[in-house]
Amino acid sequence: MKKTIATITMALVCGMALAQTESESTDSSTAKSGKPPHMARMESALGLSDEQVQKMREIRDNGGSKADMRAVLTPEQQAKAAALQKERKGGDDGRRAQMQKSLGLSDEQMEKMSEIRKAGGSREEIRAVLTPEQQAKFDTMRGKAGGKGSSNPES
Q: What is the pLDDT of residues 7-26, one digit of tens each?
A: 777 766 766 766 665 544 44
Q: What is the pLDDT of residues 29-59, one digit of tens each?
A: 444 456 667 777 778 888 888 898 888 888 8
Q: How many CA atoms lie within 13 A of 38 on its CB side?
A: 14
Same domain (yes/no): 14, 53: no
Residue 9: CB partners within 8 Å, gap ≥ 6?
Answer: none
Same domain (yes/no): 62, 82: yes
Same domain (yes/no): 42, 20: no
C-alpha to C-alpha distances, 78 to 14, 85, 91, 128, 139, nearest whole angstrom = 39, 10, 21, 28, 29
Structural domain harbouring 10: 1-34
Same domain (yes/no): 30, 65: no
Same domain (yes/no): 12, 52: no
The whole model's pTM is what?
A: 0.38
- Of 19, 95, 85, 139, the C-alpha closest to 27 is 19
The total number of structural domains in the chain stands at 2
Same domain (yes/no): 25, 99: no
